[in-house]
Amino acid sequence: MSTIDSLSNDSLHTDSLYLNTGKGKATHYFDAIVVGSGISGGFAAKELCEKGLKTLVIERGRKVEHITDYPTAMLNPWQFENRLHVTDNDKKQQPIQSAVADESTKHFFVNDLEHPYIQEKPFLWIRGYQTGGRSLTWGRQCYRLSEFDLEANAKEGIGVDWPVRYKDIAPWYDYAEQFVGVSGQNEGLPQLPDGQFLDPMEMNCIERHLRESNQKHFPDRLITIARVANLTKGLKGRGPCQFRNLCARGCPFSGYFSSNSASLPAAFATGNLSLLNDAIVMEVMVDKETGKATGVRVMDAHTHEITEYFASLIFLNASTINTTAILLQSISERHPDGLGNGSGQVGKNLMDHPYGGGAYGEHDDFKDQYYKGRRPAGVYVPRFQNIPGDSISRKYKRGFGYQGDGERAEWPDRMKMEDGFGASFKEKLTTPGPWTFWMIARGECLPYETNRVTLDKEQKDQWGLPLVRVNFEFGENEKAMVDDQKRHAEEMLEKAGFKNIRSFYYNTTGGRAVHEMGTARMGKDPKTSVVNGFNQLHEVPNVYITDGSFMSSSSCINPSLTYLAFTARACAHAVEELKKGGA
Amino acid sequence: MKRRTLIKSAILAAFAGAAGYGGWQAYRIFKTPDVADLKNHLPLINALAQTIIPKTADSPGAGDVNAAAHIVRMVQLASDKKTQNSFVNGLADIANAAYSRYNKAFENCSPQQQAELLTEAQNSGKPWKGSLGKVQQKLLGNSFFTTLKELSCEAWCTSAEGMNQGLAYDYVPGSFQGCVPLAPGQKSWATK
């Protein structure tokens, strides 16, 4: 049974602004409903609760309490029966999720057999149905969109223009970073704007060496420490990071940002939050007269009992594909093709970031140097293509950044690198081998109308809801970057004196970056876009969408921080509108 | 037989022919492997693992930490059919070789005899160089020696003894220092 979990019964006396006038159980009326408790939903809940709104968060998955529900967090490798080795049975239960999950994290990813979808072309839909969603297992990389990103669509006539420019969103990045706690180094690059960072993590010898080599040979290619939501000092009672590098198991030290560790506790602390688990939102209900959303219809995941919850304000944060499915399932007289879909754009322009080319090399120097602790992040090479100062004529639009990592070869590498067996082999297996550096490019993916999420007309899931169909493939522009991705990685390593350099091309399946986005794009014109510059549905102004669906373009950076910044901005806007009586 | 399966079989047959595999060898690789029987050979597998990672002054060997349990489990639960067959066959081959040459079980052979037998398995199981090796791995699975070696390492390097005595295990580091001088006799970190 799904039960509403809240700090006190007081928080169930809802609708503090007395905005709803409908009839029904008082416990089903709220000022705001947030669908989804992942990284953007959790943050929306915090913002709305802190602004005084009685808020109901509806999460389709099970309850996961911070720390107490992280069963693997403190386990040693020998305490796992398969020693973290993914088995055939794991692949059978989680054919999709096992691409990213292992024995220590698989309970935070769905069972694919219970949650089917249709891949018209191969697409990995990675999902975490629980309190906190994928904010428990995310990669924690935090970068800002730049002015180049936000004006690119307009300049190149691709997709629709972002109605937002950097100056509009910059203060909200500040705001989000200050709550999240992002460690990083300001570098003064226009293509990767600086932020409000905690102290950066240290780079190791080989990474510093490559940074210095690039300053000499490739001054446009900066190597900077990754900007990550891991706390290099304590913040608001959380952290600091203990450098165990086991983040995706959930952190008992609250060393990184998740809905569970940060946003939801802040929301609960206001006394305004109610959290409903195991509850699947089937549709957003709309008033025939006013055209406004009145609430959501929800099915209990276990009993299949249907309940309606009402609110003046609705935030959809179910993650891109599920938010799209909810919109498409919300059919009414006023919205025959799905909620807010007068433009026909809902479900189109799905994007993800392709892992492309990269290179690996080994270095003979610094043999007397090592590191201590397990840094939960690598280094980053911000985009240097197709920006002012790039002298190379490129065969593609936009560009890519590299994520990389320097380390010494240790047993998982040396057991394959070193021939033989016996005592001399054991000696190599147990001592640090050569320094290695590995980097992989991740490119921007353009929005293509044909990359699309739709609902199947016949097949249904166990809740009777239509199966999601995904039709996705990377396009020519993404593939045209691969040669440069390989070549530039190789030449950086060459100039820095690496040996045994190998370039490679990952050519990953769509969805593998777990950055799916773009299916309810933001734009100025209701005829060509789904939400406006404040993330409001053009056609239903009291519905806001602030998960990845609103992204009008993908940039090449990791997107979660951007969702948080736009979420905070949208919440401020929504509350202002509510007070004006405008939403 | 489905068309795809037919094509696959044809390619495999061609490969088997080219690689000098007779019908019997091909059968040995592609038949349904008897992995359940492996649990009856734990002493042999531990002796083999111990030959890969022997006991040394500072730490026990892979057989001492019962690497065989993990090796068998992974061959059974996380290996393709061809890798399973190669392992089952390789195990039988090396056990037979020990008897026919030294008239003893492998686990009762001297370390020199064990090393000699394992060197032969290593040489015959060495993958071809470069991309041909990748094709070979894809078609024939991992060799007996590769499976034995990698799973022995995995078992030992994730065991409490291997991590704490053979490697340097820092359970909760608490901080990160990017550059520290390597101390004399410094072991590798046990986890990344």
Specify the pLDDT at position A26: 67
Chain A residues 374-393 within an 8 A CB cutoff of chain B: 374-375
Specify the pLDDT at position B138: 79
Say if residue B20's pLDDT is above 70.
no
- A380 touches A203 (CB < 8 A): no
- The answer to whether A218 contacts chain B (CB < 8 Å) is no
Q: Residue with structure tokens 């998960």?
A: A547
Q: Considering only CB atoms, which chain A residues are within 8 Å of B157?
A: 411-412, 415, 429
Residue A544, φ and ψ in degrees, nearest 5: -115, 145
Residue B36, classed as helix, strand or coil, is: helix
Say if residue B3's pLDDT is above 50.
no
Model pLDDT for residues A257-271, shown as the tens digit of each residue: 999 999 999 999 999
Tokens of A455: 């609902």
DSSP-assigned letters across all residues of A309-353: EEEEEEEE-S-HHHHHHHHHH---SS-TTSTT-TTS-TT-S-B-P
ipTM field: 0.92
The model's confidence at residue A27, banded by pLDDT at 50, 70 and 90, is confident
**What homologous superfamily is domain A4-68+265-345+515-580 in, according to CATH?**
FAD/NAD(P)-binding domain (3.50.50.60)
Of A318, A326, A276, A328, the C-alpha closest to A127 is: A318
Q: Where are the beta strands (DSSP E) in A444-567?
A: 452-460, 466-471, 499-505, 543-545
Average pLDDT rounded to a whole number, residues A180-205:
98
Residue A22 parent element (H or E)? none
- The answer to whether B174 contacts chain A (CB < 8 Å) is yes
Specify the pLDDT at position B24: 65
Say if residue B57's pLDDT is above 80.
yes
CA dist B138 to A246, A509, B2, B141, Å?
Answer: 32, 20, 21, 6
Q: Considering only CB atoms, which chain B residues are within 8 Å of A407?
A: 192
Mean pLDDT of the residues in chain B: 88
Chain A residues 49-88 within an 8 A CB cutoff of chain B: 76-78, 81-88
Q: Of A23-32, A151-160, B84-93, where does mean pLDDT reach its minimum?
A: A23-32
The model's confidence at residue B8, banded by pLDDT at 50, 70 and 90, is low
In chain A, what are the domain boundaries? 4-68+265-345+515-580, 182-256+355-443+481-507
Mean pLDDT of the residues in chain A: 95
- A53 touches A16 (CB < 8 A): yes
Model pLDDT for residues A410-423, shown as the tens digit of each residue: 999 999 999 999 99
DSSP-assigned letters across all residues of A350-405: -B-PPEEEEEEEEE-S-TTEEEES--S--EEE---SSSTT--SPPSSSS-EEEEEE
Specify the pLDDT at position B139: 80
> Closest Cα of chain A to B29: distance in Å?
19
Partner residue facing B77 (CB), from A78, A89, A421: A89
DSSP-assigned letters across all residues of A464-490: SPEEEEEE----HHHHHTHHHHHHHHH
Compute the distance between CA of residue A415 and CA of residue A361 in angstroms, rounded to an integer.
17
Specify the pLDDT at position A477: 97
The model's confidence at residue A519, banded by pLDDT at 50, 70 and 90, is very high
Q: Considering only CB atoms, which chain B residues are within 8 Å of A86?
A: 78
Specify the pLDDT at position B134: 79
Share above pLDDT 90 across residues of chain B, in percent, rounded to a whole number? 73
Specify the pLDDT at position B9: 52
DSSP letter (8 states) at residue A519: T
Average pLDDT rounded to a whole number, residues B37-49:
97
Compute the distance between CA of residue A247 and CA of residue A230 in angstroms, rounded to an integer.
9
Specify the pLDDT at position A524: 98
Say if residue A9's pLDDT is above 50.
no
Average pLDDT rounded to a whole number, residues A480-487:
98
Pairwise CB contact (< 8 Å): B181 & A430: no
Chain A residues 226-265 within an 8 A CB cutoff of chain B: 242-245
Of A130, A534, A91, the C-alpha closest to A315 is: A534
